[in-house]
């Protein structure tokens, strides 16, 4: 046991002193900040953007209704002629109605778009309205927000026309078309909480990505460390003072300590930001980062790390170069990739058969069960069963991988095959 802690201490100190550790400790939170908070901050400083749009239609009333709905989508919006974007910023619009729909006017509007006099125009002559084939022409055909807003405004204007033809009063039409806001809340322990669905989704997504990256990064780090020491023949010296199993255990524990240190630093840095809101989809989102969530995060990180680090150490000891290791990395990464692929279905339906089955598969448990706990806490027996299965698998894999490790670290030159690796397990 003394040797294990000595090797763990050596691995820990060597890693935390590397520049790569300092860079990744700073870089990953910076990337998360850049993907979440920074876009909203930048967008809020660029909220004076103004677009000029022309609605060309022979039906002036239709054009006015589209303009009014587009520039002022909500009757209680205090800022007319502005539209709030999904990132929290606003864009101003100058919309004009043009009742000339001749071919000459179409050419003139096209020329104005080309010369940047206007940003785009809606072409809606009488025949296009009758066939419901209206086109929007602009320099930026990928501006899906504007196109979607115009589509909604056109749909409402056409509905108003249809209601008027059937004699429905304008007040009733406005009441019918008034949007309905659905406020999603979570029921937990028989009580309605303030956690919104969007907040839970992004909290689960954020922590899932963090867990995925850290497990994958440090398990591959163990593999490269074993491979580096194998090629430098350091193991031949170390094996004179300890067994191969002690070396492997110390290396995994040391790398786990590095991972927990990095996560602890990230937690301390981001704790003050957990209470801050992030503007997305036009509303403020508060991340549901609680002490319980972070405890589960640490627990599943340690368990997932032990499992995948054992596989990484076995792979590093079996191959002779990083090029050979890259061919086998996909096998180790596959369960993590599958977990990431099924992230959205699990978040949307955490109690489904798919989510339950995946969360009980030990190689998927660290990511899937943790996600289920964040979104909708599963029954205690499922959590307990998943942990028991995961611990049992870790024990089995540590035993198998330690046998591969014991023989593989002293094998040089020849590329191993699967039958040879099986023989190593029998020899050890």
Query: Which DSSP string do the residues of 333-385 spell out, in sequence order?
Result: HHHHHHHHHTHHHHHH-TTSHHHHHHHHSTTTHHHHHHHHHHHSPPPHHHHHH
Q: In the predicted model, what is the mean pLDDT of residues 364-369?
A: 89
Quick one: pLDDT at residue 124?
A: 86
Residue that has been written with the tokens 């599958």 in this structure: 338
Q: Could you count the other beta carbons within 10 Å of the beta carbon of residue 378?
A: 18
Q: For the whole prediction, is pTM greater than 0.85? A: no
Q: What is the pLDDT of residue 360?
A: 92
What is the rounded average pLDDT of the residues 402-413? 68
Angle, helices 291-318 vs 322-341, to 10°: value is 150
| CA distances for 93 relative to 50, 52, 66, 256, 343, angstroms | 5, 6, 13, 54, 38
Measured at the CA of 305, the angle between CA 37 and CA 396, to 5 degrees, comes to: 155
Q: How confident is the model at residue 76 (pLDDT cuts 50, 70, 90)?
A: very low
Is residue 305 over pLDDT 70?
yes
Helix and strand tally (H, E) in the chain? 17, 9
For CA atoms 364, 365, 370, 376, the dihedral sign is positive
- Tell me, what's the pLDDT at 84? 46
Residue linked to tokens 């999603």? 184
Phi-psi region of 376 (alpha: psi -120 to 50; beta: other; left: phi over 0): beta
pLDDT value of position 78: 39
Residue-averaged pLDDT of the chain: 75
Alpha helix (H) residue ranges in 84-196: 103-114, 126-131, 144-165, 170-177
What is the Cα–Cα distance from 343 to 211, expressed in whole angstroms?
Answer: 13
Q: CA 304, CA 394: separation in Å to the nearest integer?
A: 9
pLDDT given at position 272: 59
Q: Which residue has the higher pLDDT, 369 or 141?
A: 369
Residues 6+ apart with CB under 8 A from 412: 230, 320
Percent of the chain past pLDDT 70, that is, above it, reads 71
Which residue, chain included where needed, has tokens 């039409």? Answer: 173
78 or 274, which is more confident? 274
Contact 11, 225 (CB under 8 A): yes
Q: Which of 175-184, 189-198, 213-222, 352-361 has the lowest mean pLDDT?
A: 189-198
Query: CATH top-level class for 47-177?
Result: alpha beta
Q: Domain boundaries in the chain?
A: 2-37+196-427, 47-177
The residue with tokens 């069963």 is 385
pLDDT over 90 at 44, yes or no: no
Distance CA 180, CA 318 (A): 61
* CA geometry: angle 118, 53, 41, nearest 5 deg: 90
d(CA 325, CA 330): 9
% helix, strand, coil for the chain, step of 5:
65, 10, 25
Average pLDDT over residues 45-64: 78
pLDDT at 318: 74
Which of 139-143, 173-177, 296-300, 396-400 ranks highest by mean pLDDT?
Answer: 296-300
Stronger pLDDT, 125 or 15, i.e. the higher one: 125
Per-residue pLDDT for 365 more than 70?
yes
pLDDT value, residue 357:
92
φ/ψ bin of 190: left (φ > 0), alpha (ψ from -120 to 50), beta (otherwise): left
Q: Which of 91, 95, 96, 88 shows the shortest CA–CA distance to 79?
A: 91
Name the pLDDT band for 389 (thresholds 50, 70, 90). Answer: very high
Of 266 and 343, the one with more pLDDT: 343
pLDDT digits (tens, 9 = 90+) for 213-256: 777 777 777 777 777 776 666 766 666 677 767 777 777 788 77
Contact of 367 with 336, CB cutoff 8 Å: yes
pLDDT at 196: 54
């Amino acid at each position: 046991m003394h040797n294990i802690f000595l090797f763990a201490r050596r691995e820990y100190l060597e890693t935390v002193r590397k520049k790569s550790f300092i860079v990744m400790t700073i870089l990953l939170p910076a990337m998360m900040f850049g993907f979440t908070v920074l876009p909203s901050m930048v967008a809020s400083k660029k909220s004076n953007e103004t677009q000029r749009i022309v609605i060309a239609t022979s039906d002036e009333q239709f054009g006015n209704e589209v303009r009014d709905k587009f520039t002022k989508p909500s009757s209680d919006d205090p800022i007319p002629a502005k539209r709030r974007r999904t990132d929290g910023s606003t864009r101003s619009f100058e919309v004009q109605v043009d009742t000339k729909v001749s071919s000459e006017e179409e050419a003139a509007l096209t020329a104005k778009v080309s010369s940047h006099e206007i940003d785009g125009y809606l072409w809606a002559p009488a025949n296009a309205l009758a066939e419901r084939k209206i086109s929007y022409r602009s320099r930026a055909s990928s501006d899906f927000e504007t196109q979607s807003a115009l589509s909604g405004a056109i749909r409402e204007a056409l509905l108003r026309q249809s209601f008027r033809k059937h004699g429905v009063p304008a007040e009733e039409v406005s009441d019918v078309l008034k949007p309905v806001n659905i406020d999603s809340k979570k029921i937990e322990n028989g009580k309605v909480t303030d956690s919104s669905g969007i907040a839970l989704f992004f909290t689960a997504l954020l922590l899932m990505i963090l867990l995925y990256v850290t497990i994958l990064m440090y398990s591959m780090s163990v593999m490269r460390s074993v491979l580096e020491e194998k090629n430098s023949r350091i193991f031949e010296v170390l094996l004179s003072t300890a067994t191969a199993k002690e070396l492997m255990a110390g290396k995994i524990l040391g790398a786990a300590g590095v991972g927990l240190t990095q996560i602890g630093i990230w937690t301390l840095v981001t704790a003050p930001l957990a209470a801050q809101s992030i503007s997305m989809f036009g509303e403020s989102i508060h991340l549901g980062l609680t002490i319980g969530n972070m405890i589960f995060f640490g627990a599943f990180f340690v368990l997932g790390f032990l499992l995948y680090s054992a596989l990484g150490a076995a792979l590093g000891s079996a191959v002779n170069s990083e090029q050979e290791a890259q061919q086998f990395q996909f096998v180790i990464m596959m369960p993590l990739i599958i977990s990431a692929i099924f992230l959205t279905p699990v978040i949307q339906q955490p109690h489904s058969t798919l989510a339950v089955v995946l969360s009980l598969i030990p190689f998927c448990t660290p990511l899937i069960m943790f996600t289920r706990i964040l979104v909708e806490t599963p029954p205690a027996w499922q959590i307990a069963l998943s942990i028991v299965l995961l611990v049992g698998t870790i024990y089995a894999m540590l035993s198998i991988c330690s046998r591969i490790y014991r023989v593989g670290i002293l094998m040089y030159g020849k590329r191993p095959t699967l039958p040879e690796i099986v023989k190593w397990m029998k020899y050890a």
